[in-house]
Structure 1
Amino acid sequence: MGQGSNPAIKAGKILVVDDDLELRQLLATYLNKHGYDTVLAGDATDLESRIARYEPDLVVLDRMMPGRDGLEACRALRSQGEDVPVIMLTAKDESVDRIVGLETGADDYVGKPFDPRELLARIQAVLRRKSGPSSFKTAHAVRFGAFEFDPVMRQLLKDGEVIRLTGGEINLLEALVQNPGKPLSRDRLLALARDDDAGERNDRAIDIAVLRLRRAIEDDPKSPRWIQTVWGVGYRFSP
């Protein structure tokens, strides 16, 4: 286990799981320099026990490894209720592989080869999202116009009446309202709005779900007030 080079900085603890020894050492050196403690592992065997032992704030997990691969390991973590943030590393950079990685429960995805600065930025962004005041676990009801969204009860109400939404639409609305004013890409929404009964999910599926939400909450879905399109990026909730 590596120790941060500046003990005054308490950025967090990162578990790096990758079968490439050189890459593991490179990331340990780089992350340590930026204030993170690092724990290194060469495979995903007993990943759950390592997480229990070291209690990392985030896991950097290689997708392609001999034996148990990253997808299988991440899926197992989520099935057991483990919510530690996971960033998936993979040499595959096609959109379908990215979506599969996110659908298994990964919080973000970085394709190899990558600049360590990009990985650092994504680590920081994921940790901010997980620990910030908008965290789903500590969320309060969100009010906008005549609507009130309760993330604990998973209900949307208008003037006290429940608006019927599917599980996927609730997930998507939760992702949007918990990031007010922040443009979210379709890939990010796929990661945040995980829906086990949604079937095959892609950018088009997100667009359709947004359209359905707009029909439920907008006075004029063609000229939305609450869920706005950010051209070239995705969507933004504008309370």
Structure 2
Amino acid sequence: MADLIVIIDDERDLVELLQYHLSKAGFETVGFYNVSRVEQFLDEENVSLMIVDRNLIHAEGAEFVTNLRKKGFDTPVIFLSAKDKKEDKLKGFESGGDDYITKPFDIDDLVARCKALIKRSSRQSDVYKFKDISVDNSSKRVLVSENEINLTKLEINLLIEFIKNKNMILSREYLCDVVWNDFETSEKTINIAIKRLRQKLGDTEYIVSVRSQGYKLC
């Protein structure tokens, strides 16, 4: 599956240009001309990188990213801005930006930086997040609303698989193969494991069953 890059800029021609070149480089892209629906999109989709303009209609890009960071969104950010003073760049990094490119820019340089940042962040990231759930796969530490809960190794692997595929229906056959590594695992075993996981998460609405199809995290 291709990495998904979100582009936030109110210059439509620029968004289309970036989408064209990033698509040629093998990325999936989604463009936004303002920030009104971006947070919801980040909640629903697995976004690998955001390219954010500083001068947005009804929003300042650095302040928008600051608010995302406060809410726990850790998606890597490249600022793409005409603001080219030293203090502007510093504010971009202080707000949670990972890179800063000034306009006008070289498109090949931007594509290269996107590839490098995604590669670096995927190598460093071993933390999976969904809403107020956070799973550190290295330490096997799971937090729900900042409260630590105890999950078994199987339950952690199951939760991570749901987070990696949030809002997607996962069939029992898929879970057998990916989590249990055994197509012979019974439906009852899977149902019991998911029931226990839901109970430990403290909210049965996190993971919902879809009749005759499987389960999804939403």
Equivalent residue number for residue 68 of structure 2: 77
Match of 1:131 among 103, 122, 125: 122
Q: Given the superposition, is the C-alpha separation of residues 35 and 68 from structure 1 closer, same or farther in structure 2, using an over 3 Å criterion?
A: same
Q: Does 1:20 align with 2:11?
A: yes
Q: Distance in 2 between matches of 1:11 and 1:96?
A: 35
Shift of 1:137: 4.3
Q: Which has the higher helix share?
A: 2
Residue in structure 1 matching 2:79, options 67, 74, 88: 88
How far off is 1:53 after superposition? Answer: 2.5
Aligned partners of 1:106, 1:53: CA distance in 2, in Å? Answer: 21
1:45·1:68 contact (CA, 8 Å) conserved in 2?
no
- TM-score normalised by structure 1 residue count: 0.51
Is 2:25 aligned against 1:31?
no
* C-alpha separation in 2, matches of 1:83 and 1:103: 14
* AA matched with 1:35: G
The answer for the alignment partner of 1:64 in structure 2 is 55
Q: 1:17–1:62: 8 Å Cα contact kept in structure 2?
A: yes
Find the residue that maps to 1:114 and give its secondary structure.
coil
Tell whether the 8 Å contact from 1:31 to 1:38 is kept in structure 2 after alignment: yes
Q: Distance in 1 between matches of 2:126 and 2:89?
A: 26
Equivalent residue pairs, number: 129
Percentage identity across paired residues of the two chains: 36
Matched, 1:114 2:105: yes
Q: 1:136, 1:13 → 2: CA distance?
A: 16
Cα displacement (A) at 1:113:
0.8
**Cα distance in structure 1, aligned partners of 2:26 and 2:56:** 27
Name the structure 1 match of 2:91: 100
Query: How far apart, in 1, do the equivalents of 2:49 and 2:77 lie?
Result: 6
Structure 2 residue 27 is matched with structure 1 residue 40: no
Is this contact kept in 2: 1:71–1:104, CA < 8 A? yes
Task: For residues 85-138 of structure 1, give each alpha carbon's deviation from its aligned partner in whole angstroms, at most 9, with x where no partner exists.
Answer: 111111011111101000000111110111111111111111111112xx1647
SS in 2 for 1:81: coil
Pairs within 5 Å for 1:157-236: none
Against the structure 1 CA distance between its residues 137 and 59, is the aligned structure 2 distance closer, same or farther, given a 3 Å change threshold?
same
Runs of 4+ with >3 A deviation = none
Q: Secondary structure at the match of 1:109?
A: strand
Q: Is the contact between residue 17 and residue 41 of structure 1 (CA under 8 Å) also seen in structure 2?
A: yes
Displacement of 1:68: 1.4
Q: Find 2:41's aligned residue among 50, 53, 56.
A: 50
- The separation in 2 between residues aligned to 1:69 and 1:100, in whole angstroms, is 11
Cα distance, 1:45 vs. partner? 1.6
Question: Which amino acid in 2 is paired with 1:96?
Answer: E
Q: Is the 8 Å Cα contact of residues 47 and 73 (structure 1) preserved in structure 2?
A: no
Deviations 1:141-199 (A, max 9, x none): xxxxxxxxxx98xxxxxxxxxxxxxxxxxxxxxxxxxxxxxxxxxxxxxxxxxxxxxxx
Distance in 1 between residues matched to 2:126 and 2:10, nearest whole Å: 33
> What runs of 5+ residues in structure 2 fail to find an aligned partner?
128-137, 140-218
Query: Does the residue aligned with 1:55 lie in a helix, a strand or coil?
Result: coil
The residue type paired with residue 101 of structure 1 is G
Alpha-carbon RMSD:
1.8
Q: One-letter code of the match for 2:12?
A: L
